[in-house]
Structure formats: C-alpha cells, structure tokens
Amino acid sequence: MFPEVESGRFDEALERIDGLLLTGGYDLSPVEGIYVDVPPSPDPEDPRLKEKFRLDTEPERDAYELPLARRALDLDMPVFGICRGFQLLNVAAGGRLIADLKTDIRHRAFSDLVSSSHPIAPAVGSQMAEIYGEKDVPINSRHHQGATPDLLAPGLEATALAPDGIVEAMEDPKRPWRFAVQWHPERPEEAALYERDRALFRAFIEQTRKR
C-alpha cells in the first residue's frame, strides 16, 4: 500500500483551514489492493501496466495527499473531493477503485477542451438531491477511473449514479460534509454547468464556516 506517514505530520497545516478540497489530476499509483482490475502485487512503474490501464500517475503527490486526507478524516473536517479527489477520498477511507472503466457510457473527455457528458440520478434524501433536486441532471465527464457502489469505503454512500451504475457522487450521511463528485464543477469553460455547480462550492463553504 501507500507509504505510512505519521498522522500528526499535517496537524499544523490542517489547524489553519476549516475544510479540505481534494482537486482533480493524475491517477493514483497502482499499488497493491486499491484497484480491482489490476493484478495483485503490481510494479507501479511497469510501462505495460500503465499502457494497459491508461495510467498517468504522480506518486509524489499520492505520498502527500493520501495521508493528508486520512488525517483530515481523523479530525472530522469537512472534505470535498473532485474527480481524482473523489477517488483519493474513497481510497483514503478504505475503498477501492476500477483502474480503467469499460462501459457503454463515455466518461473520458474528448479533448482537453471538450468534455463528454451524461446524466446522473441524485439519490432521494441525499445532500446531492438537496443541492440539485431529484431529477436527472446533466454533468461533464473527464475521468477514466471510478467505482461502483460496492467499492465505496465504509460509511460512504452513492448519492448519484451514471446510467451504467458508476458512482458520480458520494457522501457520508453521518458527517456534516464528507462529499465528493466525479465530474468537474470548477470548469468555467462549460459556462452553463459552471454557473449551476457553484452551488456545490457555496454549500461546502457554508459548512466550513460552522467549524
């Protein structure tokens, strides 16, 4: 698994903030156990493995962000994950991932400028439904990894699914804000979605002010 880091290492930094935002970016390194479709005991630097699963990794970032996320969870801080942040939060909390999605729905972007798109169905009674309503909602999609509900960490629940059953939003109903989405609500290039998705950031900021 990922290298262990003393839990107190990040306390000084976390004491200065009211919530932790885990942003998008590279795939998590394929260390043993986190991916259900990667063979056991992989060599994370094996180029054949990276090619087969379309992996683009940054181990140095993993080594910092995973223990940081775990410590934030230990301290019960509000945490909001976006894309890679969704995946990192799930792994930090004890969940697993699919390294390379192969379904009938396109989740990967067409180009750096053009996202793919599909609807999601928010779960009744969830924070997700409070923000977006309970009808099908269109989102942008720029990821090739993800999770099904059975791969989520203990305590995390799927609160929005793509039509192929891939989790697009998850939250912990027993925590004030432990929430993550697979899409990119921060992209101003997609103006209509950006204006709508600002509600996610407002809800997160509101929660951090309660600490």
Which of 107, 143, 144, 184 does the annotation list as catalytic? Answer: 184
The rounded distance, in Å, linking the Cα atoms of 206 and 165 is 30
Residue 186 designated active-site: yes
Q: Which of 65, 83, 118, 171 is catalytic?
A: 83
The set of residues, in sequence order, having a beta carbon less than 8 Å from that of 115 and lying 6+ positions away, is: 109, 140, 141, 142, 184, 187, 190
Burial of 40 by CB count in 10 Å (0-12 exposed, 13-18 middle, 19+ buried)?
exposed
Signed CA dihedral, 49, 54, 59, 63: sign only: negative
Backbone φ, ψ for residue 68 (5° rounding): -65, -45
> Annotated catalytic, 83?
yes
Please confirm, yes or no, whether 184 is among the known catalytic residues: yes
Closest CA to 197 of 108, 110, 115, 82: 82
Separation of alpha carbons 147 and 170, rounded Å: 10
Active site residues: 83, 184, 186
